[in-house]
Amino acid sequence: MADRADTGAGLREVGYVGGLRIEPSEFFASLSGHLLAGPVQVNKISAGFGRFAIDPATRAVGRVDHLPDHHVNRRKVLLLCATTVPKCVATGAAKAVAWASPASIAGMRARIILVVGVLLAGLGVAQQRSPLFATVTGPGGEPLADAEVTCSSPPTSIAPWRKDVVVARTDARGRARADLIVGRAYVAWAVGEIAETGESWVTAPHSFVAAGRVVALRALDKHGPRVVVLPGLAAWREVGGVGVRWYPDVGECVGVDAAMPDEGNRITVPATPWCLGAIAVTDANGEVMVCATLQPGSTEVRALGKPAAMRVTVRDRDRNLVANAIVSYRISTLGQSRLLASHMTAPLPHVRVVGKTNEAGQVRFHAPELRVIKQRFGDRQQWLLVCVDMVGFQQGAGVVGATSTAEVLLEKDEPMQVLVRGDGAEHASVAGVGSFSVHPSPSSHMIGRRALPTTRSHDNNWVVRGLRSNFEPCVWMATKRPTAVLTASLEAPTSPVVIDLDSMPRVIIAVTDADGGPAPSALLVGRPASGIPMLWEATLATDLSGHAQLHLGEGAYFVYALAGQSHALAIIDKDTVGPVKLRLAPVETMAIRVVGPDGKPIAGARVKGHSTSTKGGRDGNDLDSQWARMSGTMVWHFLQLVRSDDDGRIELPVFLRSGVAAKATVWLADRDSDPFQLRAGTALDVVLK
C-alpha cells in the first residue's frame, strides 16, 4: 500500500479536450426526433466539425444534430442511479496522437474523436471518479517518460453506457494518473514519446483495469508510422468521402481523424498499440461510410468495398409516404470491445446516419456494394441492414439486397411505461434498449439492437418509445458503492413494467488480495450453466475498498473477480448472506523457452491460441464446474500480453481447470512453432521453425 500512497506526488493529468472541461447543464440532444433536456454528457468534441461544435471564444458547446452511435446490442432497459446528481461533466479526454501524411510526418497532431458521444440520452447521471495509477516501462524495465496512457471504457452489449476515455501522460519516473469512473472497467494502453527515428515504444491493450488499481504497462514493441495502401479509396472520395479515421483498436471506437488525401490511396497511420485496428472513410458529417481492418504491424489492407448507390423508401402501414424519418445502416467492423472477453453476444453496432427522408419518403446514399458470395453449398447474397427512426412510430428496419433498394414499413408507436420503485429510485435514470429481426429471405434473418428514446414523465416513471419487440430489463446503479441489478428477461411485457429495487435481495461483494487487504477489481457476473463460452449478465468494477453490491433476481449467479493476473470466483443466490469475500489468487504459470532450430534463444516471440476442447469435465452448477467453464472462456485473455525475453523465456499464465484442455503456438514474424499443450507448473522448450 505504500507504493500506492506515494504515487500521487509529481503526477499530472492531461486535461479534458485539450484542457477544456465542459459542463453542458443546458445541453439538448435530438434522438430520433425527440428533444431531450440535459444534462447530457458530451464525449465527442470536434471544434467546428459535424455534430458537436465548440465556440473558440465562449467555449460553449453547440447542439447535436443526430445520434448515429446510440445503438446498443441487447434487449434491455437500463437504469442508472446516483446518490447525488450534480452537473454532468464531459469525460472524454482528447488524446493528441500523431497522424502523419506521406508528405509530412513530423509535427502533425490530430484530435481524438470519441465515438458514441451521447449513447443513451436518459443517462445523464453524475459519476464519482478516482485515480488509476499506471507505470509505463520499456522492455528492460526502464521508465518511459512523457508516454501517453489511454484508458477507454466503451459501451458494450451488456453495459450500454456512455463511452468514457481518459488520457494521461507519464512523468520522469514513467508514472501517470488517470481519474476513472468508479464502478466501470476500462481498457488501457500506452504509447511512448516519438524518438528521432520516428518510432515509439507501445504497449499492448490491458483489459479490465479500474479505478484504485496500480497497473504496470510494459512496452515491448517499437513502431513508427506505417504507410498503408488503401485500395478503393478514390471511389469513395468521388461519392462524398472527405476524411479518413484511424481506429487503433477496433473494439474501443477511439478514432484519430485526418483529411482525405487529395489524390492517391496512401494513408500513414501513427504508432499505436499492438492490436487489430481499422481505417475508415468519413463523410462531411463525420459519419463512417466504410471501414477496413488492419492487422498489427501490417501495411496490407483489403480493398474497400465499391460504393454503390442505394435507396430506402419509408411508409406507414397505410402505405402513406413518411417524410423526415432518420435512416441509418450498420458498420459491422467496429464495436467488439475487449471488455466482452470471449463473450459471444454480438457487439454494439456502429452505425452511419445517412440522412432524413424527403417528401417522397425516400433517402438516397452510397454504401459498400452488396455482392453474391460463392460458397461450396450455394451462393450467398450480402445484405445491408437499415434502420429507421421517426417520432410517433416504432423503430423500423429493412434490408437492402441485390436491387440496392429497400422499403421500410413503420408501425404506430405504443409507449411502454417503466416504473422504478424502492430505495434509490429517486436518483434513477432509465433508458430502453430493444431488439428486432428482419428476414431478407425465407431461409435467413438478421438481428438488430437499438437504443429506444426514453424520457422521464414524472417522479420515478419513465416512458420508453419506439419499442417493436420484447425487451429485457436491466438495472444499473451508479451509486457511491458500484451496484448492478440483475433481472430476469420479460416475454411480451405489458405496460407498465415495475422495477422494485426493495424486492430484490442485496448481496455485498468484498474482494481482497492474498493478504486480506482490499483489492479493487473488475467483476464479471453471469448465470451458472453448462458449456463454454460463458455469457456475462453484467460487467462492473468495485470501489477502491474492493466492494460492490448486487441486487439479485431469481436463481443463482457466478461472480468472477479479476485484477491483473489474479482472480477469484463465487456462486451466489437470493439466500446468500453477505458480505461474500473473494480472495484473489494468482493464475498458475507454465515456463517455456523459445529457441530457433539451432537452439539459440529468440526474444520478442508471442503466444496465440490454437485450440480449446472439453473432455468429460463436470457439467453442473457447482463451483468446480463454473471454474472449468470460466477457464475455457478466459484462457486466451491471459496470454495476450506475454513476450519472450532476451533468453527466450516466457512465464505463461495458464488458466485451465479440470475438464478443459488448450493448445497454443509461439510465433514471431512469419515463423511459427508446432502446437503444444498448455499445462500449468511444467516447463517446455518450444522451437520456432
Mark whether 607 and 620 lie in a shared domain: yes
pTM of the model: 0.78
The answer to whether residue 85 is domain-embedded is no
What is the mean predicted confidence (pLDDT) over 198-221?
Answer: 91
Q: Cα 28 to the chain's mean position, in Å?
A: 25
Q: How many helices and strands in the chain, by DSSP H and E?
A: 3, 51
Distance between CA 31 and CA 454 in Å, rounded? 9
Distance between CA 656 and CA 680 in Å, rounded? 8
Distance between CA 287 and CA 431 in Å, rounded? 24
Mark whether 513 and 570 lie in a shared domain: yes
| Model confidence pLDDT, tens digit, residues 504-560 | 888 999 999 999 999 999 999 988 876 666 778 888 999 999 999 998 888 899 999
Q: Counting Cβ atoms within 10 Å, is residue 318 exposed (0-12), middle (13-18) or buried (19+)?
A: exposed
pLDDT the model gives residue 341: 56
The answer to whether residue 218 is domain-embedded is no
The answer to whether residue 201 is domain-embedded is no
Of the ranges 285-299, 307-321, 432-446, 597-611, the best mean pLDDT one: 307-321
- The structural domain count of the chain equals 2
340: cell is: 466482452
Mark whether 582 and 596 lie in a shared domain: no
Mark whether 545 and 602 lie in a shared domain: no
| pLDDT score of 613 more than 90 | no
Q: Report the relative pairing of strands 326-331 and 350-356 from DSSP bridges.
A: antiparallel
Q: Which domain holds residue 526?
A: 505-586
pLDDT the model gives residue 483: 86
CATH number at residue 555: 2.60.40.1120
Distance between CA 381 and CA 293 in Å, rounded? 22
Task: Identify the residue with better confidence: 535 or 499.
Answer: 499
β-bridge mates for residue 134, sequence order: 176, 215
What is the mean predicted confidence (pLDDT) over 29-52?
Answer: 28
Final residue in a domain of this structure, among 586, 615, 630 = 586
| Model confidence pLDDT, tens digit, residues 284-301 | 988 999 988 888 888 888
Final residue in a domain of this structure, among 586, 601, 635 = 586
Residue 500 neighbours by CB under 8 Å, 6+ apart: 421, 422
Residue type, 266: R
Across 104-113, 292-301, 398-407, least confident range: 104-113
What is the mean predicted confidence (pLDDT) over 494-505?
Answer: 86
| Percent of the chain's residues with pLDDT above 70 | 75
Mark whether 652 and 674 lie in a shared domain: yes
For 534-588, the DSSP string reads --EEEEEE--TTSEEEEE--SS-EEEEEEETTEEEEEEE-TT--SPEEEE-EEPP
Mark whether 574 and 631 lie in a shared domain: no
3-state secondary structure of 51: coil
What is the mean predicted confidence (pLDDT) over 565-583?
Answer: 92
